[in-house]
Amino acid sequence: MSSASVVRGPRDVAELLARARAMAGRTVGELAAERSMYLPRDMRHAKGLVGILVEHTLGVEARDRSTAAPDFEHLGVELKTIPLDRRGRPRESTFVCHATLARIAETDWERSDVRRKLARVLWVPIESERELRLADRRIGAPLLWSPTGDEEAALRADWEELAGLVGVGAIERIDARMGHVLQLRPKAAHGRVRTIGHDEDGAPIEVGPRAFYLRATFTERIFGAASTLPTSVA
DNA sequence: GATTGATCATAC
DNA sequence: GTATGATCAATC
């Protein structure tokens, strides 16, 4: 494999999986060196960097960002890295997608960005103990996942509750404690960012941008169900 | 220790 | 400025 070359997109899911499996056991430092990517010492300045690195390594191509299409659009597969602790449990919630507050009331679960993104996900675990240097973190075995019937029902219920509240102008009453598996949380470069929402009367109001996230308790079950870990979390 | 709200980097 | 890639850090 030549260094820093652009990786072409995988032809099919089998090729994508083969590439992902080939990454397993390698370190973030190795992958970064191949792609001539600089790794900051401080994780504070490296948020999202491993995600981009894995995208490039697997061949996610530049694409239209104006629609919420999955990373591998022609395969219908979304790529997500997920930080795991030494017990194999997710250390963080998982960003799903931006919430289009002004328009969310016009859609439904079936046509939602959340459902489209999560229809099929290639999870790439990253060994992520806090004290482990970024370059030394290893890539784990990938997992191609689609929601089970129960999982989709849970996602749908949360989405409908949250989107419903946004739709009736009650966004200010939503906080991250809502949602059993799916949350709506702030998502912005900094605290002064504002976007347009609507109040109860349909009048435009300025609110902080929000995004959908999967709770760690939800993603933990995904890995628990398929995991080869010696003990699952009772 | 887990969770919520805030924040950081990059592409366009 | 918006959206995607996430993790940090204050708080519970």
Over the stretch A7-40, which tens digit does the pLDDT of each residue have?
899 999 999 999 999 999 999 999 999 999 999 9
* Domain residue spans of chain A: 3-147+217-225
Q: What percent of chain A has pLDDT over 90?
A: 85
pLDDT digits (tens, 9 = 90+) for A153-210: 999 999 999 999 999 999 999 999 999 999 999 999 999 999 999 999 999 999 999 9
Question: Residues A174, A166: contact at Cβ < 8 Å?
Answer: yes
pLDDT of A230 higher than 90: no
pLDDT digits (tens, 9 = 90+) for A69-103: 999 999 999 999 999 999 999 999 999 999 999 99
| Bases in strand C with any atom closer than 7 Å to a protein CB | 1-9
How many angstroms separate the CA of A212 from the C1' of C1?
20
pLDDT of A229 higher than 60: no
pLDDT of A107 higher than 90: yes
Question: Which fold would CATH assign to domain A3-147+217-225?
Answer: ECO RV Endonuclease; Chain A (3.40.600)
Q: Which residues does A126 contact at the CB level (< 8 Å), separation at least 6?
A: A28, A50, A81, A82, A83, A84, A137, A138, A139, A140
Nearest nucleotide, C1' to the C-alpha of A186? B5
